Structure 1
Amino acid sequence: MTVKRRGTPVLDRRRLGVLLHPSSLPGDGLKGTMGAHARRFVDVLVAAGVSVWQVLPLGPPGGGSPYNSPSAHAGDVGLIDLEDLAECGWIGMAEARAALADAAAREVALSAAYHGFAVHASAADQAEFQEFRVRHAAWLPDYCAYECIKAQCGGAPWWQWPAALKDRDPQALAAYPGSDSCEAVAFAQFVFFRQWHALRGYAAARGLRLFGDMPIFVAEDSADVWAHRDLFVLDADGRPEIVTGVPPDYFSAHGQRWGNPHYRWARMAADGFAWWRERVRTQRELFDWLRIDHFRGFVASWAVPASAPTAAGGEWMAVPGDALLQALQEAFGDLPLIAEDLGIITDDVHALRDRYDLPGMRVLQFGFDGDPGNPHLPHNYQANSVAYTGTHDNDTTTGWYAALTARERTLVHDYLPDANGDPAWAVMRAVIASVAGLAVVPWQDVLSLGSSARMNTPGKCGGNWGFRFHWEDVAEAIPARLARLAFLYGRTNPGR
């Protein structure tokens, strides 16, 4: 297959990025939103010389995790700024503020805003809503029906719905897409996209790009699997025959059984990967760059029998990633994609990444095993890569350093002599100084926060995804200190 090389690289120049999910922003609600605190955060990043803001997936979290969403397209309405809706005149400000810290009250407030919109929205706003529905017609009706039916079925997964609804009988579905509650779901998605576009515009005007994250697999209980059962390896009842995971390694003797259904790749290829093209089209509407989580799954995926309790009995299943990326390139031109190529990666994965000039990832916390050839040490980085102190799955650098053994700490000090005084900033400096085109530091590291600020611990069932910072954590000198590193190592935001 002939691949057209990209005209310009994804990483156009040396840049500095910060990783923070919007849910971690300050505010009075249950989690951060796309409102005033998000704009203030953009201003702080720009003042610090940062030109990239990286986030986690923006979809509705499933089981609390943004990587287990019920939709590959929809946005998390929990991130909606209710006060913005009040300023639009679609809901009272007192009602908006009273609903900030209560999930049920937020749902009521969004429903009220929908009815207020129907009565008070301008003709331009109404036209914008209709244009949004047309633009997202490939997924929005199915998602609205899925959410409405799921609510009426007490939150049960779609395979436990009445047979006519589970199997998408046209007559059974006809009552749902036109219902008032389904209209409210569509409105909430319209608001989410509208507010995110406004935030993206605010950031772009200040030279800040937005960097998103796309999980390679989708949740079994999702609108995507329900609406496209033919695209997934399911049995006659709609349950997975094989599920995703990774094989046993030295981290886990049994491997990891993730449980997502596998794709029927031959069926996807038959229509030119239309489902994937729509998925990437939605993400391109939200972000300047997009990280593909578990990129090695575009070469081969670990297939585990659905009946198996662990991943140990799985096998590798070939994936037509080359054909998929070719189809995406033909659809969109240059691909603003970053390959998450961490873990045990084979040569064919590197070859696929390099064939499309996609930057890979490096994580400095993984570098201290005593091998000077470790690819996660800065002297082994390449310019076409994204370098991190740690990702959302790592401990904070302060917490990581505190947990090191004496031998590991000696290795760190040999490589980073100033780590003993301020480990987070010593590790940040090394990453920012590296040759990597993009250096990304978690906001927790900028604030030198410990393990209590960790975002996620893989394999841990509870206590994840809840980190939030407070503006009092941001000492006045911090933006200037980060800006100095950006300047010293040629990463300053020209929009400053």
Structure 2
Amino acid sequence: MRSATKQAGVCLHLSSLPGPYGIGEIGAHARDFIHTIGALGMRVWQFLPTGPVAYGNSPYQPLSIHAGNEMLIAIDGLIADGMLTAEEVHPLTALPHEYTDYSGLIPLKKKLLDLAAERFLTSAGPAEQQAYADFLAQHEQRWLHNYALFRTLKTLHDERAWPEWEPRYIHREPAALEQLTSNYAIEIARIKVLQFFFFSQWTELHDYARQHDITLFGDIPIYLALDSADAWARPDLLEIDEDGRPLAVAGVPPDYFSADGQLWGNPLYAWRRHAETGFEWWIDRVRHATTMMDLVRLDHFRGFESYWSIPASATTARDGKWLKGPADSLFDALKNALGNLPLVAEDLGDLSDDVVAFLSRLGLPGMTVLQFMIGEDDFDVQQIQRNTVCYTGTHDNDTTVGWFLGGPGDVRSPQEIEDTQRLVLSRTGGTASTVHLDLIRVALNSAAELCIIPMQDILGLGSEARMNTPGTTTNNWRWRLGDCRVTGVKHAAVQHEQDLDCSPQVDEAVCRTIRKMVAASGRTAE
């Protein structure tokens, strides 16, 4: 991540982008947001994992570590390519703009995407057919065909998890998979075409970001979802039994977010088996991620050194125990295969001396979150080192305004909230109405090589704009940069290429305020 100058960026997940079709997409509004970042004087766009989501809609529980989330495919792009019409997609415009209504969105958009895929299969021209053939040659054997089989089988089994399928499919009997491929050739082809749509649009977005000197900063969830194409394809790499049932599951012990800890439920890795293969699965995974993104955060980094193993029968994370991970052996294999990688370690929470030493040996930047620090009695901004990414808060935190006021789900007592408010105001010299700007200023003026500000904090939004509350399963991952949040939102790609004086998606006054703060900190993009 080393750069000659310190940089600043924005965190906004792709699903949170504005737009008329019920969810943020990787088309015109994503390109608009690239201009928004530049207009704010910043150069980095961080977002959450981009894989297809399932129950709970968490991007950290994707159905595939390689596939793209079909719900993010840009409808306007399909209209422009002649695969859909404006009349056909009109029902999507009735969905809410301020949040994602997944229950309303998914069936509507899936029907339209399937229609577009069928039209592509029957009417694509020679150039499109060649591009699709090239895509298949690159991805089909590595992951795409397996993903298409997995999604087809989930549909045939009423979306149940794969350990609940017919035994011949659980155990991937070759004859059964061959028959499936033959009997459901059209359905399988549609799934592959949708991935072609996603990656074609992603490549366009990535190229557009490069043209405007914007770094795309993505995220790798450390663990697989049990109900994923990857777990189904390689159960030998996980601590699960022959029927796909976890022997132990992942999570974290009690912490700031939850008194019972967090019971994630993901199967744990069979690290000895990974080592025997030379970590080839991980090498392929990281290669894929660093091809899609310019900078990649490794979620729950401490789990590579030691991880919390919870009995599969447990109802909370309290009864887990620490076990050793692969540590240096994995990262040595990655470096030998891929060279020096643009990685950031998510190293939040209580870390053992061994984890701290491990991160130091690797030299990877870690993370600093002001909400965890600035309200502490011993806080000193000088504690923030250069080799780190400094945040006001992350997707797992409340917004800065919500945190300051003590929003829903806050684990602090009223007295603790009041004490934090007093300390924050005394340290920033600000007021309750400017607390989001005051924390942004502290982050920008820190020594951290990179500073990332959630879009909600730039806009000064409260708890209603929180993206995720750890330990809960409802009303997460829904917030969007809707029309009611800011003024001056445009629903069209910026038509000019020159630098903007203000943002196409954010109120001009907000934009100018943040831009001046970035410039004053020495992180300006100019």
TM range (shorter): over 0.9
| Greater Cα shift, 390-399 or 176-185 | 176-185
Tell me which residue corresponds to 1:171: 175
| Residue 346 (1) aligns with residue 378 (2) | no
Tell me which residue corresponds to 1:131: 134
> Deviation per CA, 1:375-427, whole angstroms, max 9, x where unpaired?
xx532111110000000111111111112732211111221112434000010
Give distance in 1, aligned partners of 2:275 and 2:61.
24
Tell me which residue corresponds to 2:270: 264
| Residue 162 (1) aligns with residue 166 (2) | yes
Q: Out of 186, 203, 206, which is 1:180 matched to?
A: 186
Preserved CA contact (<8 Å) 2:248 2:310: yes
Deviation of 1:108 after TM superposition, in Å, equals 2.0
| Greater Cα shift, 251-260 or 463-472 | 251-260
Tell me which residue corresponds to 2:508: 476
Secondary structure of the 1:259 match is strand
Q: Out of 472, 477, 482, which is 1:460 matched to?
A: 472
Tell me which residue corresponds to 1:4: none
Secondary structure of the 2:319 match is coil
**TM-score between both structures, scaled by the size of structure 1:** 0.94
Give distance in 2, aligned partners of 1:90 and 1:396.
39
| Greater Cα shift, 74-83 or 479-488 | 479-488
| Residue 41 (1) aligns with residue 33 (2) | yes
Structure 1 portions without partners, runs of 5+: 1-8
Preserved CA contact (<8 Å) 1:75 1:193: yes
Secondary structure of the 1:469 match is coil
Secondary structure of the 1:303 match is strand
| Residue 142 (1) aligns with residue 141 (2) | no
Preserved CA contact (<8 Å) 1:26 1:469: yes
Residue 306 of structure 1 aligns with an amino acid whose one-letter code is A
Secondary structure of the 1:175 match is helix
Tell me which residue corresponds to 2:85: 92
Q: Out of 320, 324, 329, which is 1:318 matched to?
A: 324
Give distance in 2, aligned partners of 1:10 and 1:72.
27
> Deviation per CA, 1:26-48, whole angstroms, max 9, x where unpaired?
11222111122111111111111
| Greater Cα shift, 206-215 or 481-490 | 481-490
Tell me which residue corresponds to 1:386: 389
Preserved CA contact (<8 Å) 1:10 1:335: no
Q: Out of 148, 153, 156, which is 2:157 matched to?
A: 153
Give distance in 2, aligned partners of 1:295 and 1:205.
31
Tell me which residue corresponds to 2:493: none
Give distance in 1, aligned partners of 2:170 and 2:74.
34
| Residue 396 (1) aligns with residue 388 (2) | no
Aligned length: 483
Tell me which residue corresponds to 1:426: 438
Percentage of identical aligned residues? 42
Q: Out of 418, 424, 428, which is 1:406 matched to?
A: 418
Give distance in 2, aligned partners of 1:199 and 1:74.
16
| Residue 55 (1) aligns with residue 47 (2) | yes
> Deviation per CA, 1:345-388, whole angstroms, max 9, x where unpaired?
1122122222222100001111134332x4xx532111110000
Preserved CA contact (<8 Å) 1:390 1:396: yes
Tell me which residue corresponds to 1:79: 72
Tell me which residue corresponds to 1:18: 10
Secondary structure of the 2:448 match is coil
Deviation of 1:92 after TM superposition, in Å, equals 2.5
Residue 145 of structure 1 aligns with an amino acid whose one-letter code is L
Deviation of 1:120 after TM superposition, in Å, equals 3.0
Give distance in 2, aligned partners of 1:12 and 1:23.
32
Residue 230 of structure 2 aligns with an amino acid whose one-letter code is D
Tell me which residue corresponds to 2:496: none
Preserved CA contact (<8 Å) 2:257 2:471: no
Tell me which residue corresponds to 2:100: none
Deviation of 1:310 after TM superposition, in Å, equals 2.2
Give distance in 2, aligned partners of 1:16 and 1:476.
19
Residue 6 of structure 2 aligns with an amino acid whose one-letter code is R
Give distance in 2, aligned partners of 1:475 and 1:249.
37
Name the CA shift for 1:10/1:216 in 2 (closer, same or farther; >3 Å): farther
Structure 2 portions without partners, runs of 5+: 96-104, 407-415, 487-505
Please give the root-mean-square deviation of Cα atoms over the aligned residues, in Å: 1.7
Deviation of 1:173 after TM superposition, in Å, equals 0.4
**Regions of 4+ moved over 6 Å:** none
Deviation of 1:98 after TM superposition, in Å, equals 3.7
